[in-house]
Structure 1
């Protein structure tokens, strides 16, 4: 194995073993910037080339924070400044999404006019982070040369990978810095499994997960009656289903099947992640354990073409919705909020589908037996009241 290979594997172990890979990565990068003036100059040169903002005379400050007028603190991973002017902010991620619903807009407001906000994450997460940033900004971030970017209010916003940034930093002879190449390799090749931290030893975490499951069961149990009360037109709804990672009910509207409930995999994803179409389109919504979405498993062969067409139709209607649980309130208030969000969303889907001539014609022409769910685990299906009367 080459020296570079040893270095990046050692770094990889270090990043994961600390339990806080993002902080460790940033501290390592800052140490390199502090110790090597040539590397720091090259770092600022590359940021200048990327953003179109001249940052070559700036200083780099690690983990600077600022409190706004409301007292809310913003911790900037790297603050790039000149005198009292905030020229750029570099916000880094390893495994996480944006940490608040206004993080991008808040940081943008802290930049002087003509400044730049640079969001950096691992390559598999770049598109998801760009989508989330787009949702907060209300601007798309088209990609060019591996960088998502947009301009807003006289400021630049960029989203790119660690590898794209670190490997482009070169010395005056045009050669990359071995330490940065090793760091980029360590970051981009981190294993998917995130080692446990002391968080897993906190009973509050176990209590939160337990409560999530309890809320999900109540949500699923109460949903049929609430849909009936709201007069929502649907075909059928299943009994509550469960497996190790999820608690949900399935329901159909003109044969279009969706699910409502708790799913840990959806909870672990950024809403609007393009790599996972079932998480929906661009949104500023927080990740959530509770969702309305469509199924993403392989359709039955006999109805595959029809099912894929219906899923595409649901996607076009924005079927995926992370239900936002209110914080700091009672069980009943949380349940009521989730039910209200779910029912309103399902009602909107039902109205749109019943107004779609193609959806109606397709459903009326379909063979009832062929399109009925075949999964025995669904158990007895509860027909909607309007469907029972038809």
Structure 2
């Protein structure tokens, strides 16, 4: 299973094409719209979230609410496009009208892809870089993730994401009776945080950053329950599922670190406090009393909850911009400002859910027979039983 995305931040639309979905899986645009709406929420978002109301347009691969097994095409319209038709137009410019194209960017912003992308592709207008490297592209990554989450949920696998830290304000580890409780509580939080005692402090940190023309980052966590054991493989580096998930997290705009389970804390502990002992229970089969490794051993799922965290740096677009150099004159300037958020960590937790869900769904589809969804569901149910009783 694979997907591609296309489109620019201020172009007419964003598109994803998904190939490899099983046939006969229930899917509606509403399944995708729900996740798109979640991505647009969160304290600290900028003005664009007031302009756009993202909705999915399924253009192929579904008939009467069921997937066909053929490529699935989803597009999301950029409603702000009407203000950018001249600047981002497709046809060639008429001779003598080049100067009428405003907003040419010649001052690359530190922390963005602007300068390096311009060097790589030979663009003298950095807009050619920033339009595609923008986090707006995560809209259709969330759309693809919504499809993956639908597949997983129908197989009894649930995915939840939440915010652990924003701008140095850290939440206590969440304690919950079910993953649904975690979802319900974080969905009601403006910063998507389970810990109500720090919610206000996180919002204050975002307000202070905005007041100072600055931005702040944070840490998000994704938890997955219901995965059968043995998904992934130890036989080769590119088949290790935790490695694929780590790569997916790192591919999200502004993410700079990833860890599973105890993560970097493992460097400070002896092995006896890191590894998860294997026990036998007559009713449940193989069990672990701890989940320090975050649901993985040898690049494969253990059947325990998957716990993965990602570190998001502060967004580099600042309203008190950093020093830069004009690529035309080589003179120093402060970097140009594009519309941006002061903090996108709550929204990033939704994107993190999506990319993790995609890697898990893709691994399942690759490892088990998946032409027909009904057959895949039967196989996964049997795998869960086999993994407990082996």
Q: Which one has the bigger helix percentage?
A: 1
Q: What band does the TM-score fall into relative to the shorter chain?
A: under 0.3
Bigger Rg over Cα: 1
Task: Give the TM-score normalised by the residue count of structure 2.
Answer: 0.22
Task: Give the TM-score normalised by the residue count of structure 1.
Answer: 0.22
